[in-house]
Amino acid sequence: MTLAKAPASRMSALTRRGTWRQGRRRSAQERRDTRTGLALVTPAVLFVSVFALFPLGFGVYISLTDWPLIGPYHFIGLANYENLVHNSVFLQSIVFTLKYTAIVTVPIFVVGYALAVFVRSNRRGSTLFRTMIFLPYIVGLVAESYMAVVELQPSSGTANFALSKLGLVSDTTAWLVHTGLALTAISVLVVWFASGLTMMLLMAGMQGIPHEIYESARVDGASWWSVERRLTLPLLRRSIALSLIISVVGSFLAFNQFFIMTDGGPGTSTVPVVMSIFDTAFAQMDVGLASAMSVVLVIVVGLITFVQFHYLQGDGD
């Protein structure tokens, strides 16, 4: 990540003060800096090591064992990974998650982009609109999923009431007990929830594009559409990459909305990857297998991030 590319030269600015002093003073100062600096960053490094990096390595180790939730365990090599290939629920959950991700990614991006174009100017009201459009993201998908459960009930929910008045569906449509309908309802909810975030990220990118570039395009008489396509889109590559990574990875790690709205049903037809890991670990208590699934998930998410970043970043940056 480019986040890590800190301008190291600037960190040294402080010690530069010492460069015109004599060597001994400087090295004493440097030693003190090292001690203080290390002491300051140690808590953060500890937190991350204990609760993120260690579990990652520990998970790889567990995935090579038959670790039950309680009781002794044995080292069994790659057997868990071999089992994964035949685990139909897990394979189905991967296919389902890919499908869900494919369904929501484009609408989130298109809606988010359109909203960003709308609110990027500093016209009167645009700040207010940004706030309101972003609100569903702030409130969080959990509370909204509970609300959706109530409103998607056949014959009492608002969704059927409104849609049946428009003649689109019957007012007895049971959204959450049919795979296709449930996926549709959840996708609509998620697009509504997440496009505000894409809007914010793209808007920030758009506002970072120097004004002069647009001035010269306007002088050349370019149309709005060609300016958008030839100037904004290419210059926005980094922001687009970031917003796509966030939305694709987010979809791939989806859990809450499915747990709350369908609990994976009907059958196991709407079980996303994270839910199949969750069930394997905490319902079937097969921690080894669940860890193998987690390792696969980490690799897949890492690959998605890497590919999208490189593909969209371009320019070798």
Partner 1 sequence: MAAVRNRQGQPSGAGQPGPLTGRGARTGLGAAGRGRSGQGAAARGYSGRKETGFFWYFLGGLAISAVFVLPLLWEVFRSFQPESAISAAPSGRTFGHLTTANYKTLLTGQADIIRNVTNSLIIAVITAALTALVATLAGYGFALFKFRGSAIAFGLVLLAFMIPFQAVLTPLFLEMHFLHLLNSLIGLALFYTTFNLPVGVYVMRNSFLQVPRELVDAARVDGASVITTLVSVFRPLIMPGIATAALYAFLFSWTEFLGALSFLTNDSLFTLPVALSNVETGTYGAVNFGLLLAGAVIAMVPCVIVYVALQRYYVRGLISGALKG
Stretch that binds partner 1, among 83-91, 97-105, 174-182, 204-212 (CB under 8 A): 204-212
List the end-to-end C-alpha distance of the chain, in Å, as a whole number. Answer: 10
From the CB of 131, what's the least distance to partner 1, in Å? 6
Name the token pair of 222. 């370019």
From the CB of 219, what's the least distance to partner 1, in Å? 12
Residue 179 Cα to chain centre, angstroms? 24
Rule CB under 8 A: choose which of 43, 77, 221, 316 binds partner 1. 43
Q: Is 183 in the site for partner 1 (CB under 8 A)?
A: no
CA distance 297 to 290: 10
Stretch that binds partner 1, among 6-14, 82-90, 99-107, 176-184 (CB under 8 A): 6-14
Q: Which is nearer to partner 1, 34 or 184 (CB)?
A: 34
Q: Which of residues 225-284 bind partner 1 (CB under 8 A)?
A: 238-239, 242, 249, 253, 255-256, 259-260, 274, 277-278, 281-282
Rule CB under 8 A: choose which of 151, 178, 179, 228 binds partner 1. 151
Q: Is 166 in the site for partner 1 (CB under 8 A)?
A: no
Q: Which of residues 275-314 bind partner 1 (CB under 8 A)?
A: 277-278, 281-282, 287, 290-291, 294, 297-298, 301-302, 305
CA distance 289 to 291: 5
Q: Which of residues 81-110 bind partner 1 (CB under 8 A)?
A: none
Stretch that binds partner 1, among 75-83, 90-98, 174-182, 208-216 (CB under 8 A): 208-216
From the CB of 23, what's the least distance to partner 1, in Å? 14
From the CB of 117, what's the least distance to partner 1, in Å? 9
Q: Is 33 in the site for partner 1 (CB under 8 A)?
A: yes
CA distances from 287 to 45, 241, 254, 275 (A): 27, 35, 20, 14
Rule CB under 8 A: choose which of 22, 23, 39, 283 binds partner 1. 39
Q: Which of residues 131-150 bind partner 1 (CB under 8 A)?
A: 131-136, 138-144, 146-147, 149-150
Q: Is 153 in the site for partner 1 (CB under 8 A)?
A: yes
Stretch that binds partner 1, among 44-52, 76-84, 97-105, 178-186 (CB under 8 A): 44-52
Q: Which is nearer to partner 1, 207 or 226 (CB)?
A: 207
Q: Which amino acid is at 54?
A: F
Q: Is 204 in the site for partner 1 (CB under 8 A)?
A: yes
Is there a contact between 200 and 134 (Cβ–Cβ < 8 Å)? yes
Q: Is 209 in the site for partner 1 (CB under 8 A)?
A: yes
Q: Which of residues 55-84 bind partner 1 (CB under 8 A)?
A: 55-56, 58-59, 62, 67
